[in-house]
Amino acid sequence: MDPAPKDGESAAAAEPGRGGAAPSSGVVVQVREKKGPLRAAIPYMPFPVAVICLFLNTFVPGLGTFVSAFTVLCGARTDLPDRHMCCVFWLNIAAALIQILTAIVMVGWIMSIFWGMDMVILASKYS
């Protein structure tokens, strides 16, 4: 079923196959990613440090996450501004321990690699 046209849209504009033109103004939609506390605790590091953490996470699961925890103590920003620096530090240590303990069944290793990729993405986005 096709949805009914919304405010300001004509039936011809809603169905471009019938010769109608696309509307010149559209609706602005804001998409915001909801992050859990562990994911939001990933620090925004300088790009070279993030690459080193990715490298460490690739070969020794959890080690790069463990190193990134100390960047929080050095003043790295996170998506948890309302939490104290020590709380964010311990969240990163917890993520590193989860990665180390579950690396035996490959889950932690994969999580560790994705965590390192997130670090590099955040570093490149906000450097």
Has residue 16 been placed in a domain?
A: no
Within-domain flag for 65: yes
83 within some domain: yes
Residue 33 is predicted with a pLDDT of 76
Residue-wise pLDDT for 9-29, tens only, equals 444 444 455 555 555 678 888
Domain that includes residue 54, residue range: 45-126
Average pLDDT over residues 44-61: 95
92 domain-assigned: yes
**44 within 8 A of 126, measured Cβ to Cβ:** yes
**Over the Cα atoms of the chain, what is R_g?**
22
Hey, how many other C-beta atoms are within 10 angstroms of the C-beta on 125? 8
Mean pLDDT of the chain: 84
Q: Is residue 21 part of a domain?
A: no
Tens-digit pLDDT profile for residues 30-43: 888 788 888 999 99
In terms of DSSP H, where are the helices of the chain?
11-14, 37-40, 47-59, 63-73, 85-101, 107-125
Query: Which has the minimum average pLDDT: 11-25, 62-76, 95-109?
Result: 11-25
Tell me whether residue 71 is in a domain.
yes
Model pTM above 0.85: no
Domain assignment present for residue 7? The answer is no
- For the chain, the domain total comes to 1
pLDDT confidence of residue 12:
46
Is the per-residue pLDDT at 85 higher than 70?
yes
Q: Is residue 1 part of a domain?
A: no
Residue 60 exposed, middle or buried by CB count within 10 Å (0-12, 13-18, 19+): middle
